[in-house]
């Protein structure tokens, strides 16, 4: 049963600390998305990669957030320094070409990392 895995599932940290979240996409998927979900804003796209290259990170605060794909099986999202307003659930999704016109990727979401910054 192929699925996206994310670690850690929960993270509590103090303001100013560095936070690293990891995602293992489904084997064979070549697109990876990072989302943030809050009650007020809903689900927001932070960044996405195709074939490990960043395609768009316009949704990400550049001064403190960074996203990378060191290899095809690992994507990371880092926050340094973390702030209380970063508290949210962070989802990773991986995509596979669906072969259905311009909508190339069906996105499969991981279980999320619940981040609390005190």
Query: Strand pairing partners for 93?
Result: 33, 109
Gap between the Cα atoms of 33 and 99, Å rounded = 19
- Torsion of the alpha carbons at 60, 61, 62 and 66, rounded to the nearest 10: -60
Site stretch for other proteins (CB under 8 A), options 14-22, 61-69, 78-86, 96-104: 96-104
Residues binding other proteins: number (CB under 8 A): 28
* Binds other proteins (CB under 8 A): choice among 36, 60, 95, 117: 95
Tokens of 34: 């990072």
**Is residue 31 part of the contact set for other proteins (CB under 8 A)?**
yes
Binding site for other proteins (CB under 8 A): 4, 31, 33, 39-45, 48, 55-56, 91, 93, 95, 101-112
């Amino acid at each position: 049963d192929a699925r996206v895995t994310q670690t850690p599932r929960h993270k509590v940290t103090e303001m100013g600390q560095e936070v690293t979240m990891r995602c293992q996409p489904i084997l064979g998927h070549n697109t990876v998305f990072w989302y943030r979900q809050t009650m007020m804003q809903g689900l927001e796209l932070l960044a996405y990669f195709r074939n490990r290259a960043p395609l768009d990170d316009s949704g990400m605060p550049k001064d403190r957030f960074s996203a990378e794909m060191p290899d095809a099986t690992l994507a990371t999202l880092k926050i340094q320094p973390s702030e209380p307003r970063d508290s949210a659930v962070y989802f990773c999704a991986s995509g596979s070409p669906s072969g259905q016109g311009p909508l190339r990727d069906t996105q499969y979401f991981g279980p999320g990392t619940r981040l609390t910054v005190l």
